[in-house]
Amino acid sequence: MIVWKLARRQLLSSWRSGEVRVLLFALALAVAAMTSVGFFADRIQNALARQGGELLGGDLSVVSDQPLPESYLEKARALNLRIASTLEFPSMAMRGEQSQLADIKAVSATYPLLGQMRISDESRDAGRVVASVPQAGEVWVEPRLAGMLALKIGDTLTLGERELKVAAILQQDPARGGSMFNIAPRLMMNVADVASTNLIQYGSRVRYRLLLAGEPQALEFFRNAVTPTLQRGTRIEDVQDARPEIRSALDKARQFLGLASMASVILAMVAMSLAALRFARRHLDTCALMRCFGASQQTILRVFLLQALMLGLLGSACGSAIGYVGQEVLARLAGALFLERLPPPGWMPVAGGLLAGMATMLGVMLPHLLRLRDVPALRILRRDPGEQNAASWLAWLPGIVVMLTLIFLSARDAKLGGIVLGGLVALALVSALVAFALGRVLRRVSAAAGGVWRIGIASLLRRPGASIAQVAGFSLGLMAMALLTLVRGDLMHNWQSTLPPDAPNRFVINILPEQIPAIRDFFQNEHLAIPEIFPMIRGRLVEINGQPLDTTRYTDERARRLAEREFNLSIADLMQHDNKITAGRWWRDDERGQPLLSLEEGIAKTLNLHLGDRLTYDIAGERVTLTVQSLRKVEWDTMRANFFAVVPPGVLEKHPSSFITSFHLEAGREETLNRLTQHFPNLTVVDIEAVLSQVRAIMDRMALAIQFVFAFCLLAGFAVLYAALAATREERADEVAILRVFGASRPQVRAAILAEFAGIGLLAGIVAALGAEATAAIVSTQVLHIPYVFNPLVGLATICGGLLLIPLAAWLGLRRIVDTPPRQVLLSV
């Protein structure tokens, strides 16, 4: 009871006198960062996944080469999921004498679950959004198919045993899917008509798809329930499987948001530690006095533990509330840009924030509480006892455990967490070392220096521990801000260069070798940049190192699919400029004609292939054995034509090949395509502009989310800098008062403060700049897998920021004291 009363009174008093506000603010900030950034990141991630889901036509899709069991449908219905089903199969579409291979997609009335379809009456029309699917007896055809079969609205075409009426031109199917290079034009029909075509027979190549959309938990439940029962040839796809370029962008965004949320947590915890240090120092006298008046160590521990708990509860509650409101505001701001409303936040993060906040508070406070407990009563007579005594390293352990847990939870990525933590530990060591070494140098300098410099340097030297903590605090704050600036820059740069405005948006396939010169001429005459034209030879992998390929040895469904399908092999003398060798080397001039192979590293990993492996391909009935000489990293999200397998010139030229190219066609120049196909009727032009737009839209929104979260981290960074300044403000106020009493002029005092903090700031700036550049390089290249761009400007800005802003902020904080008559200052300190 006494403990409660004392704790409450002290806390209220501390609150009134303002000394716990920094601690409370830092805690609220830490919790707000955890709930707001962490949770906003989650919501954005969910929303982005939904956005990506449009490319799939649903959140989740079960795909099979045989009809799906009724039990899946029942399960989905039971979980209140929205359901659509589709069948896809290739078939000839005929009109009179003309026939064309088409990619038939039969859809149920509820298709698509996510995204929108657009249809039009004319091929060139952009089309209108429709909420329905083709009626029974009707079909929608893509412009390309309409062109090939000269179809108009109202015409009929024959599909198997059925005649169907063309009701619209299909301009956009959100879930276009499929491989980009083998696309036949699409024909969409109602699933009810499929049976009457009599096209689906035993052995037909049909892809059955069950599309699902709904609450994430229900989807997860469905996935978990169904996965163990999947037959061979059946798999579950989500957006990440649908499009690698989206997946790559999503991953990077998620990692950056993780990095940002982790940085906020670290910064806020550092701010708290600094504030707790100040709190403890200010209560040393209280504890000595309490000991003097007979309080036991237990009583002191309880009184301060209770204060920590109360502060923790208050700070966590405020932080959770701020976080909840903050992320809602962010979601609303960003929500206008999303097609769908962001999924609701729920109350779990608030509870999580409270829990994390209490754990953080106790973890951070424990060493200081133990230090307060151990303050000797003698301190009341002599100042020094209790000033230096520090808690054992064991006391820091819970705080470190809490920090590590929160860092890894908020990073959502062990590798990212590990790298940033490694950077932090290195930074802490380097700051301590630099501060220590500088201390030795300054000791010598201060003997020679005079006036204000001596006072400034003496301030630094008198509290080596506090100075190191302060330098480390400033360094951390600056480093986190610089690190995020650098990585954000790399990410934005990478996204812009991935899909520049002139990224290829049309692929041309089926080019015959003899047409190449004429096609080059065509591009020149049309004033289009002459694109690179790549040969493409189709081959099936049959042997690895002389052993027949046994696809059943791949337990991974994706690996089996990749191994079973035909490879597109290409020929290249020089490597494409956006590829990068990750193992082995590219061929030399004298190796032309040798049976060598360069493999994309991802497929090599999936199929467990290594440098030196001999791969035998069946190319049009002939066997060719090639030795893997290099592995390449390919940027698939650039949308350029790229190949898993490339051989040097002089190896596969005698095999039948076709050529492929990609180019950028500006909007409004579509008639060029008509001229191209008129000149070269055998060519197939694939339009990926719609896919590109979708990817660009997603990247734009992610960029926006990243800017929001980045701004939040900057705030947390400033909080740390503030806490580091506030940590020693009272002592500095004392010093200023004494200097003023002894006749120091205001300019002299100002110079002393500026000199000291310029020293600290410069040191912190240098350490932070180096730490940030090094960590950014590792994060960009190792985690985000994007090129690291050395940015000396950010480093320079960090050092200048340290050198100028920290002294300025220190001056602003102490200005009031300097301007006040010394007598008043002495009374108030």
User: Does 294 contact another protein by CB under 8 A?
Assistant: yes
Smallest separation, CB 336 to another protein (Å): 48
Report the residue number, 295 or 803, with the smaller CB distance to another protein. Answer: 295
Among 7, 14, 306, 338, binds another protein (CB under 8 A): 14
Which of 89, 99, 283, 104 lies closest to 203 in space, CA to CA?
89
User: Does 43 contact another protein by CB under 8 A?
Assistant: no
Among 100, 264, 286, 579, binds another protein (CB under 8 A): 286
User: Does 292 contact another protein by CB under 8 A?
Assistant: yes
User: Does 654 contact another protein by CB under 8 A?
Assistant: no
Query: Looking at residue 60, what DSSP letter applies?
Result: E
Among 198, 229, 296, 547, binds another protein (CB under 8 A): 296
Which of 418, 343, 406 lies closest to 34 in space, CA to CA?
406
Question: Which tokens go with 215?
Answer: 């609450």
- 140 and 104 Cβ atoms separated by less than 8 Å: no
Write the CB contacts of 232 (distance below 8 Å, at least 6 apart in sequence): none
CA 273 to chain centre: 29
- 358 and 306 Cβ atoms separated by less than 8 Å: no
User: Does 816 contact another protein by CB under 8 A?
Assistant: no
Report the residue number, 299 or 446, with the smaller CB distance to another protein. Answer: 299
Question: Which tokens go with 351?
Answer: 């509870």
Report the residue number, 254 or 302, with the smaller CB distance to another protein. Answer: 302
User: Does 192 contact another protein by CB under 8 A?
Assistant: no
Other beta carbons within 10 Å of 36: 29
User: Does 297 contact another protein by CB under 8 A?
Assistant: yes
Report the residue number, 8 or 696, with the smaller CB distance to another protein. Answer: 8
Smallest separation, CB 414 to another protein (Å): 44
Report the residue number, 6 or 768, with the smaller CB distance to another protein. Answer: 6
Other beta carbons within 10 Å of 623: 11
Which element (helix H / strand E) includes 138?
strand 138-141
Smallest separation, CB 378 to another protein (Å): 5
User: Does 290 contact another protein by CB under 8 A?
Assistant: yes
From 7-15, 29-37, 312-320, 560-568, span contacting another protein (CB under 8 A): 7-15
Question: Which tokens go with 181?
Answer: 């290079």
Smallest separation, CB 25 to another protein (Å): 18
User: Does 4 contact another protein by CB under 8 A?
Assistant: no
User: How far, in Å, are 143, 342, 608, 624, 652 from residue 601 at the CA level?
Assistant: 37, 36, 10, 21, 22
Write the CB contacts of 297 (distance below 8 Å, at least 6 apart in sequence): 373, 374
Reading phi first (left if > 0) and then psi (alpha if -120 to 50, else beta), residue 137 is in: left
- 358 and 313 Cβ atoms separated by less than 8 Å: yes
Smallest separation, CB 18 to another protein (Å): 9
Residue 225, classified by CB atoms within 10 Å of its CB into exposed (0-12), middle (13-18) or buried (19+), is: middle
Report the residue number, 294 or 501, with the smaller CB distance to another protein. Answer: 294
Question: Whats the size of the chain, residue-wise?
Answer: 829
Query: Measured at the alpha carbon of residue 447, what is the angle toward residues 444 and 449, in degrees to the nearest 5?
Result: 105
User: Does 16 contact another protein by CB under 8 A?
Assistant: yes
User: Does 827 contact another protein by CB under 8 A?
Assistant: yes
From 43-51, 294-302, 423-431, 641-649, span contacting another protein (CB under 8 A): 294-302
Other beta carbons within 10 Å of 451: 12
Separation between Cα atoms, residue 495 and residue 413, nearest integer Å: 21
User: Does 823 contact another protein by CB under 8 A?
Assistant: no
Binding mask 379-418 for another protein (x = CB under 8 A): -xxx------------------------------------
Residues in contact with another protein, counted by CB under 8 A, come to a total of: 31
Report the residue number, 2 or 741, with the smaller CB distance to another protein. Answer: 2
Cα dihedral angle (727, 732, 734, 738), rounded to 10 degrees? Answer: 170
Smallest separation, CB 285 to another protein (Å): 7
Among 204, 496, 545, 828, binds another protein (CB under 8 A): 828
Strands (E), 634-681: 645-647, 658-663
Among 37, 114, 295, 691, binds another protein (CB under 8 A): 295
Report the residue number, 279 or 663, with the smaller CB distance to another protein. Answer: 279
User: Does 820 contact another protein by CB under 8 A?
Assistant: no
Strands (E), 723-821: none
Query: Looking at residue 34, what DSSP letter applies?
Result: I
- Side-chain-side CA neighbours of residue 392 (13 Å): 1
Among 66, 98, 229, 298, binds another protein (CB under 8 A): 298
From 44-52, 95-103, 282-290, 356-364, span contacting another protein (CB under 8 A): 282-290
Smallest separation, CB 733 to another protein (Å): 13
Which of 174, 173, 170, 219 lies closest to 54 in space, CA to CA?
174
Separation between Cα atoms, residue 443 and residue 440, nearest integer Å: 5
Smallest separation, CB 325 to another protein (Å): 31
User: How far, in Å, are 562, 619, 658 from residue 536 at the CA level?
Assistant: 17, 11, 5
Smallest separation, CB 4 to another protein (Å): 11
Among 79, 230, 289, 528, binds another protein (CB under 8 A): 289
Report the residue number, 16 or 527, with the smaller CB distance to another protein. Answer: 16
Smallest separation, CB 334 to another protein (Å): 43
Task: Determine how β-strand 82-95 pairs with β-strand 234-238.
Answer: unpaired
- 7 and 304 Cβ atoms separated by less than 8 Å: yes
Among 92, 94, 230, 377, binds another protein (CB under 8 A): 377
User: Does 551 contact another protein by CB under 8 A?
Assistant: no
Write the CB contacts of 251 (distance below 8 Å, at least 6 apart in sequence): none
Helix/strand/coil for 751? helix
Binding mask 234-273 for another protein (x = CB under 8 A): ----------------------------------------
Among 99, 182, 299, 627, binds another protein (CB under 8 A): 299
From 22-30, 38-46, 209-217, 286-294, span contacting another protein (CB under 8 A): 286-294
Among 215, 285, 670, 689, binds another protein (CB under 8 A): 285
Smallest separation, CB 827 to another protein (Å): 6
Question: Which tokens go with 580?
Answer: 């990068």
User: Does 794 contact another protein by CB under 8 A?
Assistant: no
Helix-helix angle 671-679:516-525, to 10 degrees: 150
Among 147, 335, 376, 602, binds another protein (CB under 8 A): 376
Among 355, 378, 390, 518, binds another protein (CB under 8 A): 378
Q: Return phi, psi of residue 633, to 5°.
A: -100, 130
User: Does 307 contact another protein by CB under 8 A?
Assistant: no
From 4-12, 49-57, 202-210, 542-550, span contacting another protein (CB under 8 A): 4-12
Residues 670-709 that bind another protein (CB under 8 A): none
Separation between Cα atoms, residue 648 and residue 48, nearest integer Å: 41
User: Does 592 contact another protein by CB under 8 A?
Assistant: no
User: Does 293 contact another protein by CB under 8 A?
Assistant: yes
Handedness of CA 29, 30, 35, 40 (dihedral sign): positive
Write the CB contacts of 197 (distance below 8 Å, at least 6 apart in sequence): 91, 159, 160, 161, 162
User: Does 13 contact another protein by CB under 8 A?
Assistant: yes
Q: What is the largest CA-CA distance in the chain?
A: 110
Residues that bind another protein (CB under 8 A): 2, 5-6, 9-10, 13-14, 16-17, 19, 285-286, 289-299, 376-378, 380-382, 827-828
